[in-house]
Amino acid sequence: MNHPQGKVSLPVIKRLPKYYRYILGLHQSGVTKVSSSELARMMGTTASQVRQDFNCFGGFGQQGIGYNVEVLLHEIGRLLFGEGEKLPTILLGAGRLGAAVSRFLTMDANGYNLLAVFDSNDALVGRDLDGVPIHHIRELERFCTEYGPTVAVLCVPREGAKELSGRLVDLGIRGFWNFSHYDLSIPYPDVTVENAHLGDSLMSLGYRLRNE
């Protein structure tokens, strides 16, 4: 059951991980059936929205008698993580943020295989982050040509991301998890980008606390 991303709206795609988290929790609690209204209460949405979202992917079974939790978990997991083939990934930046992100990628991130870390700091080259070797940024072209990663995680300053992104796109990178403050989607509209602006979410929290 293939559903090209272009045929499903981005808001629906963004909701899939949240569905997965809640359904995983139900499964771990021994729940076998769940209705669209029960899922809607957990998600903070409507039963109609849940049904519409699921219909984008074929419906996931018969909602009239409740969804099978195990089927939902399997099908949504397959959409998010693929069929077992992990996406080959590299990380740029071995500083504190890079170290934290590499730990997440190697321990918690389903669907990604972190192949290597790159940095320009000679003192870090030759070490590893969570078992993944740190290479000098000079090795980027050689490594990408040999191993063909398709995902790059950017934990570098804005200027570093701006300089590296073009090289990475030319080397075959098709997706970025971007922790820099450089908006890659502007110069590279055909590349898939997930921007992770930690400062933005922190500022949003502050606004909501002060004004709501």
- pLDDT tens-place string over residues 75-108: 999 999 888 789 999 999 999 999 999 999 998 7
Quickly count: other Cβ atoms within 10 Å of residue 60's Cβ: 19
Nearest of 144, 160, 153, 175 to residue 106 by alpha carbon:
153
Average pLDDT, the chain: 90
Domains in the chain (CATH in brackets) are 5-80 (1.10.10.10), 87-200 (3.40.50.720)
Predicted local confidence at residue 184, as pLDDT: 81
pTM, to two decimals: 0.84
Distant-in-sequence, close-in-space partners of 19: CB < 8 Å, separation ≥ 6: 39, 43, 53, 72, 76
**How sure is the predictor about 12, in pLDDT bands with cuts at 50, 70 and 90?**
very high
Please state, in angstroms and rounded to a whole number, the distance separating the CA atoms of residues 207 and 202: 9
Distances from the Cα of 33 to the Cα of 24, 25, 153, angstroms: 12, 13, 37
Predicted local confidence at residue 66, as pLDDT: 87
Predicted local confidence at residue 65, as pLDDT: 80
Cα 212–chain centre separation: 30
- pLDDT tens-place string over residues 103-153: 999 987 678 999 999 999 999 999 999 899 999 999 999 999 999 999 999
Predicted local confidence at residue 58, as pLDDT: 86
